[in-house]
Copies of this chain bind each other. A is one copy, B any other.
Amino acid sequence: MLHFDSDYMEGAHPAVMQRLLETNLEQSPGYGCDTHTKNAERLILNHCGLDSGKVYFLIGGTQTNATVIDGVLARHEGVLAAETAHINVHEAGAIEASGHKVITLPQHDGKIDANDVKRFLDNFFSDETHEHMVAPGMLYISHPTETGTLYSLDELKNLHEICTKAHIPLYMDGARLSYGLAASDTDVTLKDIAQTCDLFYIGGTKTGTLFGEALVVRQPEMLPHFTSLVKQHGALLAKGRLLGVQFETLFSDGLYLRIARHAIEMAMKLKRAFIEIGYKAYIDSPTNQQFFIIPNEKINELKNIATFELWGPIREKETPVRFVTSWATKECDVDSLISQL
């Protein structure tokens, strides 16, 4: 069976695994107070082009989102997000469980339009009853989005400008950030993100680590007493150096982007094949998630040889499906799949 259901089906990239093995019996203080973690922080800030700032290492994406959002928002505030945002749809209510509303904005191919944000903020603050409403306290975007699409640098700058004027931080969920950075159709670099987003996380789980997300905050005072909050959210790893070691490896020798590029190549190969055969892209994604509309019979046929996701409920004749590649996708598997199309 060929597997294209997700980008977290394997363990860690062999180089990461190797470093975990080499450092396994080192003795270090817990909770991220070790030298690997310090080093990983330094490497990441360098890659971001930041002289100052702080990096926190957490375990998973939902956890990171819930902890950051809880850390930034005041009690009367909620977080603005696209209706398709992961925090709105697939985090089992983690944001609300910590007391905050996800205020939804329309999505356009998974993205938020700056004009929608502006209109929302204008309406909110001009509404005489706004003290009875949940105040917008930050803006959440994902890049790539949940449907694999990417913001352009101009779009990020616009969002950033609107947020800055409204004194609300812009936060980017980078669960699949590597695949955004490695896309060929993007003008956004990690340094751009570090300049336009007040907070963002660099996903490890989906790009080469066993687990782990690196949260970057340009102005650390935005997250006061954050270690306590991480602990309170059950997100403080006892053996914190495991996160340090893994991100140290990813951010040495360009590993992070290199392995992401492989995923993109595999995704593009798949995309070309589907298109050539005549299937339509459901969403035009430049990253490692590819969406096609396929006849239901073909879906049933493909299910015999490959795993992949239906994207929404089954439709009458043809249904959107998602194929995901990753750093670990083997080219021979892609070729096998293509040969069966």
Q: Which residue numbers of A lie inside 8 Å of B, CB to CB?
A: 3, 5-6, 8-12, 14, 17, 20-21, 23-30, 59-64, 66-67, 70-71, 74-76, 78, 89-94, 96-102, 104, 122-123, 126-127, 129, 131-135, 205-206, 210-211, 224-225, 227-229, 231-239, 242, 313, 328
Q: Are A229 and B76 in contact (CB under 8 A)?
A: yes
Ordered by A's residue number, 22 sampled pairs between the chains whose C-beta atoms are within 8 Å are A5-B29, A6-B29, A8-B238, A11-B239, A17-B20, A20-B210, A63-B235, A64-B234, A75-B229, A76-B225, A76-B228, A76-B229, A90-B132, A92-B133, A92-B232, A96-B96, A98-B99, A123-B313, A210-B210, A211-B239, A211-B242, A234-B234
Q: How far is the CB of A237 from chain B (nearest CB, A)?
A: 6
Q: Are A75 and B71 in contact (CB under 8 A)?
A: yes
> How many copies of this chain are found per oligomer?
4
Q: Are A234 and B67 in contact (CB under 8 A)?
A: yes
Q: How far is the CA of A231 from the CA of B24 in the complex (A)?
A: 29
The residue that A93 contacts in the complex, of B5, B67, B101, with Cβ under 8 A, is: B101
Q: Are B232 and A93 in contact (CB under 8 A)?
A: yes
- Chain B residue, CB-CB nearest to A14: B24
